[in-house]
Amino acid sequence: MNKQGFTLIEIIVVTSIIGLLMSLSLASFSDGTGGTLLESDAVEIKSTIKKAENNTITGLENINQDSSGSYGLYFSTNTPKKYYFYLDKNKDKSYNLEEKIFEYNLTNSEIDGFSTLEDNLDILFYSENADLYINGEVLEDNLTINLKDGNNIFRYININRFSKVIDITK
């Protein structure tokens, strides 16, 4: 018997296989992209933490503020897509709304918690030595900030209490 083409069943089987392979590759691609976008937010937070430390060490004075000194970041799980960069003008080692310099918005992830197990996290570099304070107290342990994206992919921003080295892990 001499065939001139494909049967309907052969076409359906091949189309189904191609569709299955495309959906698997698309799912794998979107996971990779989500991780990359999440990584971008983690790097931004890491960079902002380093900015607070550097501004404190150099004694940089912000143009819009009336004093130089201690800079910090404030995070809250109640506003998981935002965090704040601030100057501790009143030297009380904690964030107050009127001290805010800039509000950052996370576009690809949200804050999912902290190793302190509290709802708020206040990171402050205090004095010219940039001593690290967490929620008004000297950092006693290493610190972790948990980030997650819409696909429940996580990144962890870790701050070493001795060296102040910041790394990002999966």
Mean pLDDT of 125-149: 89
- Long-range CB contact pairs, 153-160, < 8 A, 24+: 153/31, 153/34, 153/35, 153/38, 154/38, 154/112, 155/38, 155/39, 155/41, 155/42, 155/109, 157/42, 157/45, 157/46, 157/49, 159/49, 159/123, 159/132
Does residue 28 carry a pLDDT above 60? Answer: no
Mean pLDDT of 52-79: 79
CA angle in degrees (0–180, nearest 5) for 58-60-61:
155
Count of all residues that appear for the chain in the document? 170
pLDDT classification of 55: cutoffs 50, 70, 90: confident
Q: What is the pLDDT of residues 100-129, one digit of tens each?
A: 999 999 998 999 999 988 999 999 998 767
Mean pLDDT of 89-97: 90
Using CA atoms, how far residue 30 sits from 34, 55, 130, 146, 150, in Å, is: 6, 37, 40, 21, 11
Counting residues of the chain whose pLDDT is more than 70, the rounded percentage is 86
Does residue 168 carry a pLDDT above 60? Answer: yes
Neighbours of 35 (CB within 10 A): 17
Does residue 1 carry a pLDDT above 60? Answer: no
Distance CA 21, CA 16 (A): 9
Average pLDDT, the chain: 85
Higher pLDDT, 46 or 35: 46
Does residue 155 carry a pLDDT above 90? Answer: yes
DSSP 97: G
Higher pLDDT, 44 or 7: 44
Q: Which residues of 66-86 are buried (b: 16+ CB within 10 A; e: fewer)?
A: eeebbbbbbbbeebbeebbbb
Residue 161 class from Cβ within 10 Å (0-12 exposed, 13-18 middle, 19+ buried)? middle
